[in-house]
Structure 1
Amino acid sequence: MRIPDSVRGLAQRLWPHHRVLLAGLWVLVQLVFLRKFHGPHSANDSSRYLAYAANIAECGYFEPGHNLRYVLYPLFQSLWLWLGLGWWGIVAGQMAISALATRAIYRGTRQLAHGGSGAAALATLLYIGWPDIQQFNVFLLTESLFISLVALSFGAFTRIQRGRPHDWALLVLVLTLTALARPNGFMVPLAAALAGLDALRRAPNRRPWRAALLGLVLLAPLLWAALNHQLATYYLMDTYQRGELIFRYQLWAVHQAAPLQMPPNGTGPVARVVYFAVHNPAYLARLMLGKLFVFISYLKPHYSLAHRAVGVLVLWPAYWLAARGTWRTIIWRPARVFLAAVFLLQAAIVMLTVDDWDVRFLAPVLSMVFVLAALELQRFRKAR
């Protein structure tokens, strides 16, 4: 279909100002959600985070146990509470970091596109326009900060291509903060480590690669202990027994055909999962595939038909484009490994745990999909 000359002319006149237009759209989206939720929005676990933040702000008390796995967000909230700015200060801070994350998506994509602004503008437009990403900026939950930190990690990762020491320092800082934002935050530095290992494996000098493998072997007991610590406060066996694909939602569940063999009492968290997998392989495979479908499909039972339709019409093609983009050698390989690993590791975590009724687990990694899809779409456009 031929684009009318008037439309093409308007696009050509507006294109030099596309960054200003994207910034204006970002501001408009924030105002829309502020109005929709009548300002800062308290939901689900908000009271838990706010109570933790108040303890930090008032007496410097860091609560142990499960809440410590989310320590960065209460610490972030405590700053605004200590300054006396309350909920509005928290949301303003979240929006400021979201603005930086949006800029990181644009700049990082443009660098991977070798200066091409088309892919950068498209990835940024999708990041701004996708409602299940930006709406979290007004929620008093960890999602906004975590989504922004994942995007900032991508931006910082693309900067190390220049090889400057301060870019490496920035990457380490952002990856550390991301790991502290949520219990699954470790997957982002892990994705960066996998990209680094892949680069070492392909380097002419094999000594660093062999040294890295030796280091992993030596660190294996520490990594095992860390994973056990992360899983200690989760009751995975209960969700496995209930066959839940979505937490506390029984209408979508996998039912066992035979009694399940459960791990004996006293087994460690990771060993319990391994035991269950070995003794119930078919059931666990069905459970994990069901969770994967729920995670990526966007067909959540509580969503409206229009919401699901948008997901199918936009996300499903984006997944296909992103998968193709992952194999494009024109894109800097470490970035491709990083982007794909972030998404795949998050999917693996959901498959081993349980998904939520909304897309709070998918939203943080959608930016990785949008970047790869935009880069691949730019290739299509150039090939025509």
Structure 2
Amino acid sequence: MQFSSVVQRLARRLGPHHRALLGALWALVQAGWLWKFRGPHLANDSYNYLDYAAAIAERGYFGPGHYRRYVLYPLFESAWLWLGAGPWGIVAGQVVLSGLAAGALYGAVRRLAGGAWGPAALATGLFVLWPDVQQFNAYLLTESLFISLSVLALAALVRVRGGGWGPWAALLSLLALTALARPNGFVVALAAALAGLEALRRRPGRRAFWAVLGGLALAAPLLWHVLNYQLATFGLLDTYRRGELMYLVPQWAVHPAAPLHLPPPGLGPALRVAHFAAHNPGFFGRLVLGKLFVFASGLKPHYSLDHRLMSVLLLWPLYGLAVRGARRREIWAPGRIFLAAVPLLQAAVVALTVDDYDVRFLAPVLPFVFALAALGVWKSWGNVDNSVGKMPAA
């Protein structure tokens, strides 16, 4: 009760000003990361993206190979290079989009919470202050753009509930852009499809529901072709043979107890994975469980003690609150399904591929975890929204 009263007193004092506070925090965080990195930060694939973007800006050339699977990000960079703004322009664009995403997250959670500002402020505050998310605005990598587009897609999906062509056009456009930003960008569109199927399932008669399922069945060959195209340049069997849980990180690799049965030559990428899993079930199961742990836990062998403690003491409890939020029946069901499906589908992708040595795969799904966790504590602590009076929905 004492903690609850403290929360309510803070809500009374800060509630009327929470948007201004969130905006100030967001600006300070952006300035802090740019100060830390001394401007745009290049790492890992940054130089490859810039080379691809320069070819687009100078010659309109979209080269073949691995980086075509990330085509939206080099295209985004090429626009700034063509304008002569260089890396600073790219980062400025990312920062602006991230600010729009923060506002969109606030509005989406508030709509899902029936106009309550408490969960919206909590989700947005976590999004703004979580270092593993906001740091990427200063990086010349795909993560910042991907995170912003994913959150904007959430906001568009929530607005679709009100009807009208505008929200639908915005949602479909954002889902297409997100799918082009990264090879695994399809998880956002797939999560939206699952949310849509749930909305159709709840309609009387379910004719549209069965019609859409039939359409998806007919489209299965095309989807299989796209999956093989996306996997073609990743060399997953090499990571399986090395027992890697994180790409090129041997510290936590697992090793087979018996010789592995490798797929015969000539199979497509997806069939190679299926063949390996079917013929090495025990080892493959250990790989999947290990990758799920390093992905979701936020723990990596080279992380500092402070970073590990932040994951254990803050991120892990947020997962529990997110589960509670996903089970709240008073929240619009398609919205809950979308919020839960994006992290779960991303986890499935990582389990079947390989995690990265940092948080590049986890960071894009954290805004969805934050939203569900905030909805999970909605109406807790005596409902802090009532302590300042309910505000109109955003």
- Regarding TM over 0.5, the answer is yes
Matched letter for residue 109 of structure 2: T
Q: Cα RMSD between the aligned structures? A: 1.6
1:222 corresponds in structure 2 to 222
Match of 1:352?
352
Could you say which residue in structure 2 is the equivalent of 1:36?
36
- Is 1:330 aligned with 2:300? no
SS at match of 2:245: strand
Q: What is the letter of the counterpart of residue 15 of structure 1?
A: G
Unmatched runs of 5 consecutive residues or more in structure 1: none
What is the CA–CA distance in structure 1 between the aligned matches of 2:8 and 2:144, rounded to whole Å? Answer: 36
Distance 2:359 2:365 in 1: 10
- Which aligned pairs between 1:10-49 and structure 2 lie closer than 5 A? 11-49=11-49
Q: Match of 1:199?
A: 199
Separation in 2, partners of 1:6, 1:123: 19
Query: Once the 2 structures are TM-superposed, how far is the Cα of residue 38 of structure 1 from its aligned partner?
Result: 0.3
Which residue identity is paired with 2:317? Answer: P
The CA distance in 1 between the partners of 2:196 and 2:103, in whole Å, is: 24
After superposition, the C-alpha distances for 1:273-321 in whole angstroms (9 at most, x for unaligned) are 1111111111111110000000011111111111110111111111011
The answer on whether the counterparts of 2:4 and 2:382 sit within 8 Å (CA) in structure 1 is no
- For the residue of structure 2 that corresponds to 1:293, the secondary structure is helix
**Structure with more contact order per residue of length (Cα contacts < 8 Å, sep ≥ 6):** 2
Give the whole-Å Cα distance in 2 for the aligned partners of 1:6 and 1:252. 43
Contact 2:80–2:90 under 8 Å retained in 1: yes
Question: How far has the Cα of 1:12 moved from its partner?
Answer: 2.1
Cα distance in structure 2, aligned partners of 1:8 and 1:301: 40
List runs of 5+ in structure 2 lacking aligned partners: 385-394
1:122 partner SS: helix
**CA apart distance, 1:10:** 5.9
Deviation per CA, 1:147-167, whole angstroms, max 9, x where unpaired? 111111111111111012101
1:74 matched to 2:74 = yes
Offset of residue 14 of structure 1: 2.6
**Structure 1 position 62 matched with structure 2 position 62:** yes
In the alignment, the residues of structure 2 paired with residue 153 and residue 343 of structure 1 have an alpha-carbon distance, to the nearest angstrom, of: 14
Report the counterpart of residue 292 of structure 1 in structure 2.
292
Q: Secondary structure at the match of 2:250?
A: strand
**Partner Cα distance (1:226, 1:7) in 2:** 49
Deviation at 1:379, TM superposition (A): 3.1
Write the distance in 1 (CA, Å) between the matches of 2:10 and 2:296.
36
Q: Does 1:258 align with 2:258?
A: yes
Instruction: Report the alpha carbon displacement of residue 4 of structure 1 after superposing the two structures with TM.
Output: 11
TM-score for the superposition, normalised by structure 2: 0.95
Deviates more, 1:362-371 or 1:190-199: 190-199
Residue correspondences, number = 384
Q: What is the alpha-carbon distance in structure 1 between the residues aligned to residue 2 and residue 210 of structure 2? A: 56
Aligned to 2:388: none
What does residue 107 of structure 1 align with? Answer: 107
TM (normalized to structure 1)?
A: 0.97
The match for 2:242 is 242
What's the CA shift for 1:9?
Answer: 5.2
What is the rounded CA distance, in whole Å, between the counterparts of 1:8 and 1:334 in structure 2? Answer: 31
SS in structure 1 of the partner of residue 252 of structure 2: strand
Cα distance between partner residues in 1 of 2:359 and 2:42: 18
1:330–1:4 distance in 2 versus 1, CA, 3 Å? closer
CA contact 2:326–2:340 (8 Å) conserved in 1: yes
The alpha-carbon deviation at position 201 of structure 1 amounts to 2.2
Partner of 2:390: none
Counterpart of 1:167, as a letter, is: P
Residue 65 of structure 1 deviates from its aligned partner by 1.6
Q: Which amino acid aligns with 1:108?
A: A
Cα deviation per residue 1:79-111 (whole Å; 9 max; x = unaligned)? 111111111111000000000000011000000
Give the AA of the match of 2:318: A
Percent identity of paired positions between Structure 1 and Structure 2: 62
Q: Deviation per CA, 1:236-280, whole angstroms, max 9, x where unpaired?
A: 111001100011111101110111111000111111111111111
